Structure 1
């Protein structure tokens, strides 16, 4: 017996009294409604493709004009339905179709939500979010794998990247600078994986980092002085620790009358100075040609008369070129490195220099690092989701075959305060030589920095 027959029999046995819908009937109704909305979305999409064609995916197409055309076709198709949708369902269908055509489908609302910092798609039917450093799942879904792949293709094609079976991994960015990583089958076993690390439209300032506890006021004043005095700074930390945000803040201390060249895999830095040249690496094309990596860009930047070189992330043999730049008059360079601590940062850079294949003696590499790097700012993301600078460490000199380090500020405990170590850093002499004055009280032990 069908569901309708069972419901009719139930009404008859109850003397034709009204029978409240059961949870099963409600779910069936919702599923039917969802199927109808998906059918309408498919009809609208087909109509849009017929009327607008490639304009839907044209990166040069004016967004407002495209939105106007999409809404016109959408109103026409919805108005032609034999069974008109309710006002609520019509509004929902309009929003979902608009997000799908003009945005990025079911993840579009999360990209607009300022409380969401990261969106993670694990296959078509599982979407996770990060809010306040904590993960949560959502009820949003892609229709199927093809729907997810269309969204990925839309994102990567707009920045000149591609993803297919021959190149199944890609790094890209959204127009607002948010970082995108996508992995598709066969590498992603359970369906395409899409990760979007959002970059705030209004980036955090140095004052914001002090207010939320990432930096202390004293460490803020010291780092601002070091950047103005053209010291070379490495920002280190694990994935998701907030290195790029801190790099952005440190770059804001660079004087406005200097020429800055930024080098990134996916352009996301948002510097406010007027004289900024932004360079972005490029992967190889489908023939395996045309790749321009970070190392190529660092070497080229040296010929562009930079006052400062800012590298989004050093992860390969470009570390050697960065050290060379820092040691040949390009002071004031800032970059990030993945590592677990200040000492580990030096080990990572050492390893990356060896990747250049120059067969340099270990002592020569360490002497280059000790001479080039002035400060390491190490940042950590804690289990409660907070991100804090845990060490501001000075790179001093070589003693035997070891580079000596000295903590200037250190986090006294997890969730605690960034306090001065009580040691006066040697770089104060460099600050004085550059005409930058810092308050000696910043380094007084027991004083909150």
Structure 2
């Protein structure tokens, strides 16, 4: 299948066997030039698109020296035949033997065509093949052979984009595997660059092809940011301003979109993957990428300065409490307290601000759940990474264009109670579902977990109380607080501090009630002491030295002694 759009004056069957035979003299004439062009290169290291770009430059250069009557379609066929000839002369081998790597062309071939360069060693080939290719990650091995995406490459891509798309059969392109599409797209890019008299070297042309592939198949300019494991958040503020978070700090990237329509098109591609839409009737959308990254999209007219895309990247490597201790988010004794709390089936709320690391900590805590338990997770956008085998993941659904069919968190919590869960995990508690969650925690679903937006543990309790009031439950304040104190056993407060570091600032127990007030006690706190010469905050995690209120429950699970040692 070819992605080249049919020209009006091109007849069906133009690239037939007869037409190819008519090209034979040109092919034979170019073979020595091709061998000379590729001399000294490790051909097996070149992908088909890169090979096509190099040969395309050669063909264009030779035809400028010696004019001919070949039309555009015939030139494309000629280029394809040359690529096929090179790959046939030099097939790729994952592990060539010594005998294979030392074979030479026959005497007849050597008489007519100069030898192609020798094959690289088997070690080089083995190192060039990744063990487990990731479909959502840019191939770093291939990027190493190219120039970085520079302003020159960006400008060239923008200059030829419209003409390339005119020659592209989009429906055919959508059905091709990436490698084949890349090869054929490389031929079109080479032709258009020659017509526009834009001179780029091979790596730069390969960069143009990569950018156009990202636009066609991926998320365009965002692809390199998604592939960068150091980037945790991506924030697009219109076409010309893209911020990223690295190491807990925001910085302006050099990524740009062509215009606002380009941002909107990428937004539509994101939501289409999960069966949603974004347009003037639904300008606000929560979505997720195929790898689980959370996305929020706002388009005009609500976004005044251009479409906005906010991406919270999905951590590919699961973080444990031990890893958090090594990173300084907590200390080792705090990690032990949290492990024992989760194993002892305490109901735990993780409190913190936006981007503080609540979901990461929730994922780490969930690893303490026994593999034999049935877990039901409820989220607005699925991003939890539970490792247990018996997990049911539920996700809310927005209303359709008629305003019907919405399924919210409260609907899912109510339904979960009929699913015989051992534990319920709420991605975030922020509305009327707080009522049903507390009832579930009070009716045999110990060990449930959730997150809440609040700046301190006491504020988290106040927010829970307000959510119950907003749900239309007419109960006295004391009754509401009693229900909260009975249901929630511990609040873990996590914060992103001004040096970018995320730290657990409180591990707080809910002790009970004194009159109409919920009583708490801090087991661990973080005490700020100053900052070092590099601007990093200095402080320490302090134990209160108090006997944990849940020590008796820990004793039931045989963990009391270890808990007391951790205090």
Which of 173, 182, 188 pairs up with 1:71?
182
Q: Which has the larger radius of gyration?
A: 2
Question: More displaced, 368-377 or 411-420?
Answer: 411-420
Q: What's the counterpart of residue 467 of structure 2? A: 352
Gaps of 5+ in 2: 1-149, 530-537
Q: What's the counterpart of residue 73 of structure 2? A: none
Question: What is the Cα deviation at residue 231 of structure 1?
Answer: 0.8
CA deviation map 1:295-325 (0-9, x unaligned) = 1111111111111101110111100010000
1:400 aligns to 2:515 (yes or no): yes
Aligned residue for 1:413, secondary structure, equals strand
Question: What is the Cα deviation at residue 443 of structure 1?
Answer: 5.5
* Matched ranges for 1:80-229 at <5 A: 80-81=191-192, 82=195, 83=197, 85-229=200-344
Question: What is the Cα deviation at residue 92 of structure 1?
Answer: 1.7
Distance in 2 (alpha carbons) for counterparts of 1:104 and 1:47: 22
Does the Cα contact within 8 Å between 2:154 and 2:208 map onto a contact in 1? no
Question: What is the Cα deviation at residue 68 of structure 1?
Answer: 3.1
Question: What is the Cα deviation at residue 162 of structure 1?
Answer: 1.8
Give the 3 Å change call, closer, same or farther, for CA 74–344 of structure 1 in structure 2. Answer: same
CA deviation map 1:94-151 (0-9, x unaligned) = 1211211121111110110011111111001111111111111122210001110010
Give the 3 Å change call, closer, same or farther, for CA 354–72 of structure 1 in structure 2. Answer: same
Question: What is the Cα deviation at residue 35 of structure 1?
Answer: 4.8
TM-score when scaled to structure 1? 0.86
Question: What is the Cα deviation at residue 160 of structure 1?
Answer: 1.9
* Matched ranges for 1:10-49 at <5 A: 35-49=155-169
Question: What is the Cα deviation at residue 432 of structure 1?
Answer: 1.2
Does the Cα contact within 8 Å between 1:171 and 1:182 map onto a contact in 2? yes
Give the 3 Å change call, closer, same or farther, for CA 440–78 of structure 1 in structure 2. Answer: closer
Question: What is the Cα deviation at residue 412 of structure 1?
Answer: 2.3
CA deviation map 1:4-52 (0-9, x unaligned) = xxxxxxxxxxxxxxxxxxxxxxxxxx98975542243333344445343
Does the Cα contact within 8 Å between 1:179 and 1:268 map onto a contact in 2? yes
Which of 166, 169, 172 pairs up with 1:52?
172
Give the 3 Å change call, closer, same or farther, for CA 100–310 of structure 1 in structure 2. Answer: same
Distance in 2 (alpha carbons) for counterparts of 1:317 and 1:395: 22
Q: What's the counterpart of residue 430 of structure 1? A: 553
Which of 433, 436, 439 pairs up with 1:324?
439
Aligned residue for 1:328, secondary structure, equals coil
CA deviation map 1:320-342 (0-9, x unaligned) = 01000000111110000000100
Which of 363, 370, 395 pairs up with 1:280?
395
Question: What is the Cα deviation at residue 215 of structure 1?
Answer: 1.5
Give the 3 Å change call, closer, same or farther, for CA 311–46 of structure 1 in structure 2. Answer: farther
Aligned residue pair count: 406
Aligned residue for 2:216, secondary structure, equals helix
Runs of 4+ deviating beyond 6 Å = 30-33
- Coordinate RMSD, CA, aligned: 1.9
Does the Cα contact within 8 Å between 1:266 and 1:280 map onto a contact in 2? yes
Q: What's the counterpart of residue 533 of structure 2? A: none
CA deviation map 1:181-231 (0-9, x unaligned) = 111111111011111111211122222101111121111111111111111
Distance in 2 (alpha carbons) for counterparts of 1:353 and 1:43: 59
Gaps of 5+ in 1: 1-29, 57-64, 445-449
